[in-house]
Amino acid sequence: MRPFLCGMAVLLSCDAAWGQNGPTLEVSPQSFSFTLQAGAPATPNPTISVTSSGPPLSFRVSALTMDGGDWLGVLPAPDHITPASVLIGITPPAVAGSYSGWITITAEGATNSPVNVRVSLILSGTATRPPMVRAVVNAASFAEGSVAPGEIVTIFGSALGPATGGSMSVSAGVVATTLAGTRVFFDELPAPLIYASDKQVSAIVPYGLAPLSTAQLRIETPGARSANFSIPVTRTAPGVFVTTAGGTGNGAILNQDLSLNAPSNPAPRGGVVFLYATGEGATTPPGSDGLIENGNLRRPVQNVSVIIGGLPAEVLYAGSAPGLVLGILQVNARIPAGIRGSEASVVLTVGQAKSQPGVTVAVKQ
């Protein structure tokens, strides 16, 4: 206990005198630095020597990491009495990178308590953290829910692919199913990949899922694989591509002269526009996974209709987009002459399913 010899008037000076003369913790070393291989076995336990100036002190040891992981710990017990040697344990995480943490030594009555020993860990090697799938959305509408055969989807999660994203690879007119080491499977059917990165992957749902009502999605990376992610399968799940993120706004629509439709470049009433979408489902002739359209145009099995500005639009063509991968639907539609206003809503229906709300086309006044 602190001597209670001074009155309230001199309490601060009495505290200062105690701080100068009280016992202190002596800790060595005051920092550690390790360079190890990611996923390596636990290291031989480094030792911290703890002594005190004055009588023995009871102290407690705890470990804390900046990332919240459990790679740093204290062995075998947190309670000690000076002088003592404290063992700390390091179990290298599976993911390469830089890690920081502290060993904190606390002793009641020590004037310099707590004392922090900094621990730095650098891990080299390849990440083997298993991929984790959090959501699967239509790549055009960003709507979650069922997927359709041939639909381009975006998968969100973690450890899905490389830190630096990679774009699709085409060989002999077919999009590859492996991209920067990432593979995506729907019920063991490999999916063609459009894009792959750590937190996002874009893939094309295999046409072979057509007869199913549910599929198991799985992602594999070098040395790791995700848990199965169950997802419903439906006939059609149309989404219209837009020019901004989030699935709403001006559609990625071409005017009849093949220029990009925009408020500054509107389409005339009665003119033809080209919509681009995904999620039309099965086609005739049957779709081929990852094939770049080569002139053998495919049309959706389900009926296609378009509403522009609340009015039915004449559909002149609905099918695969020349020169683009199967799974992208091109719809050529005529803007109704009776539309009012400079911005008109666009709704695409394939079978019984409608595209997302909030898609517009710019129309001349």
Q: What pLDDT does 68 receive? A: 76
**Same domain assignment for residues 112 and 141:** no
- How distant, in Å, are the alpha carbons of 8, 161, 217, 218 from that of 135? 63, 15, 11, 12
Q: Is residue 14 part of a domain?
A: no
Q: Is residue 7 part of a domain?
A: no
pLDDT at 177 over 70: yes
**Same domain assignment for residues 253 and 312:** yes
Q: What pLDDT does 45 receive? A: 78
Looking at residue 257, which CATH number applies to its domain?
A: 2.60.40
**Same domain assignment for residues 116 and 50:** yes
Q: Is residue 93 part of a domain?
A: yes
Query: Is beta strand 328-334 parallel, antiparallel or unpaired with respect to 343-350?
Result: unpaired
- Which domain-ending residue is among 232, 266, 289? 232
**Same domain assignment for residues 147 and 214:** yes
- Which domain-ending residue is among 124, 146, 174? 124
Amino acid in the structure at residue 196? A
Q: What pLDDT does 39 receive? A: 63
Q: Is residue 6 part of a domain?
A: no
293-334 pLDDT, tens digit each: 988 999 999 999 999 999 999 999 999 999 999 999 999 999
Contact 364, 255 (CB under 8 A): no
**Same domain assignment for residues 186 and 292:** no
DSSP bridge partners of 329: 277, 320
CA separation for the pair 221, 225 (Å, rounded)? 6
- Which domain-ending residue is among 232, 253, 285? 232
**Same domain assignment for residues 255 and 350:** yes
Looking at residue 219, which CATH number applies to its domain?
A: 2.60.40.10
Q: Is residue 10 part of a domain?
A: no
Q: Is residue 295 part of a domain?
A: yes
216-262 pLDDT, tens digit each: 999 999 878 999 999 999 999 999 999 998 899 999 999 999 999 99
CA separation for the pair 103, 96 (Å, rounded)? 22
Q: What pLDDT does 44 receive? A: 64
79-115 pLDDT, tens digit each: 889 999 999 888 887 677 788 999 999 998 899 999 9
- How distant, in Å, are the alpha carbons of 98, 147, 244, 246 from that of 142? 34, 12, 12, 6
**Same domain assignment for residues 324 and 298:** yes
**Same domain assignment for residues 201 and 165:** yes
Domain that holds residue 90: 21-124
Amino acid in the structure at residue 170? V
266-276 pLDDT, tens digit each: 999 999 999 99
182-203 pLDDT, tens digit each: 999 999 999 999 999 999 999 9
Q: Is residue 11 part of a domain?
A: no
Query: Is beta strand 239-240 parallel, antiparallel or unpaired with respect to 224-225?
Result: unpaired
**Same domain assignment for residues 120 and 164:** no
**Same domain assignment for residues 74 and 171:** no
Domain count across the chain:
3
**Same domain assignment for residues 106 and 214:** no
Contact 142, 154 (CB under 8 A): yes
**Same domain assignment for residues 353 and 255:** yes
Q: Is residue 12 part of a domain?
A: no
Tell me what percent of the residues of the chain surpass a pLDDT of 90.
72
CA separation for the pair 248, 181 (Å, rounded)? 32
